[in-house]
Amino acid sequence: MAGDQNRNLIAEFHLKHGKNIGRFGDRLLLLATKGAKSGRARLVPLAYHRDGDRYVIAASDSGAPTNPDWYDNVVKHGRATVEVGDDHFDVTATPIAAGPERDRLYEAHASLMPGFRDYVRKTTRVIPVVVLERIASSRG
């Protein structure tokens, strides 16, 4: 089911150039990673918010008991490629698993997208955030 949902969101994202995508509106990006174990290319749609020039995503997996696979990918590799609208660029991916910065960023995320508060109630784990920063030489 999640695979079909993701494929549909990715298709809608490309069709609409990342604008007005279902419940995400204009807050959806596509994160391309390399599998932590397989090394294969992976693409996942994720809700994001901006923190200055940085993009912030949350490894909520809708409140599942474990972190999503894409989180393990960025932890292992520390880099990814992002699509926002029609812009494609490489990023460094910095996981923040706990602490005041994580709390501040997660609260900002949840204040824009209240469903993320529900995910906290569904799981016993602390949902990490990942900060994505454009690599200077990357051009869209």
Residue 46 domain-assigned?
yes
Task: Please choose, from the candidates 24, 12, 5, 2, the residue with its C-alpha nearest in 3D space to the C-alpha of residue 116.
Answer: 24
The verdict on residue 87 lying in a domain is yes
> What per-residue confidence (pLDDT) applies to 52?
97
pLDDT score of 4 more than 90: no
Q: Return the pLDDT at 1.
A: 44
Query: DSSP letter at 115?
Result: H
- What's the confidence (pLDDT) of residue 36? 87
Which residue segment(s) compose the domain that 103 sits in? 2-134
The tokens for 109 are: 């995320």
Number of domains in the chain: 1
Which DSSP helix (H) or strand (E) runs through 58?
strand 54-58
Contacts of 30 (CB under 8 A, 6+ apart): 10, 13, 43, 44, 45, 46, 82, 83
Q: Is residue 63 part of a domain?
A: yes
* 139 inside domain: no
Asked whether residue 52 is assigned to any structural domain, the reply reads yes
Tell whether 56 is covered by a domain.
yes
Q: What is the CATH number of the domain that holds 88?
A: 2.30.110.10
In this structure, what token pair is assigned to residue 40?
Answer: 């294969």
pTM, two decimal places: 0.92
pLDDT tens for each residue of 67-121 = 999 999 999 999 999 999 999 999 999 999 999 999 999 999 999 999 999 999 9
pLDDT in tens, 26-80: 999 999 999 888 989 999 999 999 999 999 999 999 999 999 999 999 999 999 9
Judge whether 61 lies within some domain.
yes
